[in-house]
Chains A and B, each alone.
Chain A
Amino acid sequence: MRETGDAADGPLQALERELHELAGGSGDAGAGGRIEELRSEIRQLRQDMFQRMTAYDKVRLARHPDRPYFLDYVDAIFDEFEEWHGDRNFADDPAIVAGFAFYKQRPVCLVGQQKGRDTKQRKFRNFGMPHPEGYRKALRIMKLAEKFSRPVLTFIDTPGAYHGMGPEERGQAEAIAFNLREMAALRVPIVATVIGEGGSGGALAIGVADRVNMLQFSIYSVIAPESCSAILWRDQEHAAEAAEALKLTPEDLQRFDLIDEIVAEPDGGAHHSPDTMAETLASILDAQLLELDALPVDELLSGRYRKFRRMGEFGE
């Protein structure tokens, strides 16, 4: 299942290798100029490439196995994170991680889907596809945030809620639905950020928020392009066309007024410079929390209602 979002950047990698060798090499007198040249060539090439990226290229980049995951952002942005397990009902779901941490000495609630980095981890995290107990745990921890007046930050990165027998037996649909309703009424600020894949209802179930952000190379979709292709074309071969048709990039969502902010990624994508990515995201979260802090709870809630209330395009 390894996705290669970098499939298109053969020439880029060659330049990067050369740069790496030159920069790491001995103090060759002529190297300085060449390094600068290479850097600017790389920048240019990356810009050209991202201009030419199709929607499906962006889907693959959003799924890139080297992209920073939720716990990478937790490490980079927050202090003293404590993970809290379980839905107090059935099980702990490793596909969703939830707990509290400090952000600049301030306690915050963190909830996010977590994909695994290697084969063993991917299996443990079920590829970031939660079971109902994951959504119920997420809500349990968000209710703690409400009880103690702490803001909630969620991080969305899932292909979707898991499709299996257990999830159906234990009410996958109910768990998602209940989160949608309860998050709409949660009496503390919520900021949601799509950091990779925003896969349908399984993503939205932690995505009802006062501010919704998408990283520049993340996606948010009602259905995976591959599944859409299977249903509408009756084969898997049209995933790229489906990706185009579904309008799932941050720019598309912003055009339909569905998200607040597109968070710029470093050249080449978040995985090329995770620290820069984390810094950019942190500064946006910081500003949004400040804004939301200033609102009385009733205004916060009516603002959240209006935000989702106006979503949709129709004629009358």
Chain B
Amino acid sequence: MAWFKRETKSIDVGEEKKTIPEGLWQKCEECKAPVWRQEIEENDHVCPKCGHHYTVGAMERLDSLFDGDWEELDGALRATDPLRFVAAKSYSDTLDRIGGGPGPREAVVCGAGRIGGFEAVVAAMEYGFIGGSMGSVVGEKITRAVERAVERRAALVIVSCSGGARMQEGVLSLMQMAKVSAALARLDREKLPYISVLTHPTTGGVLASFAMLGDLNIAEPGALIGFAGPRVIEQTIRQKLPDGFQRSEFLRDHGMVDAIVERKEMKPYLVRALKFFLG
């Protein structure tokens, strides 16, 4: 479940034994083939050789789903370290360090706009922010996104990408599961569509709340999707898990997701689903 690896080593690119700096090339983490970075990026962050889906940032995801312009919702919410949590590192230091970086200021970005002409609210999670973990801000932003969908009678899409609840906010994080789920109960009663898009990885308290509650649960191929992490399960049952365990295809075969949709097909897929429900 790596953050994007930035190795400094070089890659062997064939017969000439010429090495090219890692900055332009990378070894695909799935098929191990050397691939141009730019080629992956231009292919929606999907390996052109093997189809492996790399993690996408929240802003890029929202750009890829909305028809054009979209308005960010509740972008000013910030975590406050309510527990004054100190482990090996202090939570407030972590927040300061990541908050000063180039990426989004929390593990979810919410936006309002249109998808295929349908008014929609979309929440996209940001794995680069503390593993996409859900603390108070994530819970609050997603709850507001759900409430906004109810107010505007808009469709809701949540793109999950998260290691689960954020430990550093303790039981406050846990309660976000109930908070978002309660809001989704209202959306459901209002007969508004909610499509949950599960991407690599979606685990723990995020999966055990809103990510599993879609009218449709749609997964990108090959994503790790599970309640417990594979290592935790292996420790519990003291045996190795079979290949493909907790991957998207496994969840589809066990009845937990409606369909597996490749990234480049995701937008047209959502548009068609919204036509089924609202068109």
Contacts and interface: CB of A to CB of B under 8 A. Distances in A.
A178 B227 CA distance: 14
Interface in B22-74: 74
The A interface is mostly helix, strand or loop, or mixed, namely: helix
Contact of B212 (A177, A204, A227): A177
B186 A208 contact: no
B79 A314 contact: yes
Interface residues of B, number: 62
Interface in B191-220: 204-205, 207-213
B176 to A, nearest CB: 6
Contact of A177 (B80, B183, B208): B208
B88 interface: yes
Contacts of B176: 311-312
Contacts of A208: 178, 181-182
Given A208-B182, A222-B171, A311-B176, A316 B76 contact: yes
A233 B89 CA distance: 9
Contacts of B212: 171, 173-174, 177-178
A233 B87 contact: yes
The winner among A234, A304, A305, A311 for most chain B CB atoms within 10 A is: A311
B87 A242 contact: yes
18 contacts: A163-B233, A164-B228, A165-B233, A165-B237, A177-B213, A180-B178, A184-B182, A200-B165, A205-B208, A207-B178, A222-B169, A245-B83, A247-B171, A252-B171, A253-B171, A258-B172, A305-B182, A314-B78
A181 B215 CA distance: 13
A311 B181 contact: no
A222 B205 contact: yes
Contacts of A316: 74, 76-78
Contacts, number: 196
Given A161-B227, A181-B185, A204 B178 contact: yes
Nearest to A169: B254
A6 interface: no
Contacts of B166: 222
The B interface is mostly helix, strand or loop, or mixed, namely: helix
A245 B233 CA distance: 25
A181 B174 CA distance: 14
A245 B165 CA distance: 15
B85 A256 contact: no
A253 B172 CA distance: 9
A232 interface: yes
B83 A247 contact: yes
B169 to A, nearest CB: 8
A248 B182 CA distance: 23
A38 interface: no
A162 B232 CA distance: 11
Contacts of B245: 165, 168
Given A222-B165, A245-B87, A308-B175, A180 B227 contact: no
Contacts of B241: 165
B255 A171 contact: yes
A304 B170 contact: no
A193 interface: no
Given A222-B165, A222-B205, A185 B227 contact: no
A69 interface: no
A170 interface: yes
B189 interface: yes
B167 A246 contact: yes
Given A164-B237, A233-B88, A313-B82, A180 B181 contact: yes
A220 B173 CA distance: 12
A204 B254 CA distance: 24
B121 to A, nearest CB: 17
